[in-house]
Amino acid sequence: MTFGYARVSTAGQNLDAQRDALRAAGVDDRHVYVEKASGTRADRPALRALLEQVHDGDVLVVTKLDRLGRSAAHLARLVSDLVDQGVTLRSLTESIDTSTAAGKFMVHMLAALAQMEADLAAERTRAGLEAARARGRVGGRPSVMSPDRLDAAKASLAQGQSIAAVARALGVSPATIRRHAVGAAPVRFDDGV
């Protein structure tokens, strides 16, 4: 059986051109799954329903690959899953047909490009973090334990106050006191803390 998938990003956009192209490619209107949703959405009900419907020997036709996948990595994974299930994917604009040797090659190229995209993003992130660290900047949320608060917590703990009492007095959690101040002085644990 031949299925089609058409998607537009916003409700104001029109699906007519995609429906016409799918019809011209031999897809029966009854087997066209349509969706008005951003391609970046992970949960697209019509796509999910379509993927549950197709099986070995079926053909899935799209007008363009970007109608199907959110990113190169997502698209490569999706196309690979379809091929593994024995479903042929045809993209009209890119002239990709996974039933041919050239189409299968394109699937492998997509997967390689997706992996390269992911690797490059990870490299850029690492390089940016290293550059920031070299300039004395660290990522993450600033600590609620300023040097003054830390000194007050250590002094209170040294005087025998419990972690819970010190945490209440400073307006922080007991876990924060344990993480920053425990070990500096003898600590008294209250029941339940």
Q: Catalytic site residues?
A: 9
Measured distance CA(4)–CA(21) in Å, rounded:
10
- CA dihedral in degrees (21, 27, 29, 35; nearest 10)? -70
Q: Cβ atoms within 10 A of the Cβ of 166, count? A: 24
Measured distance CA(109)–CA(50) in Å, rounded:
24
Measured distance CA(180)–CA(193) in Å, rounded:
16
DSSP class of residue 35?
E
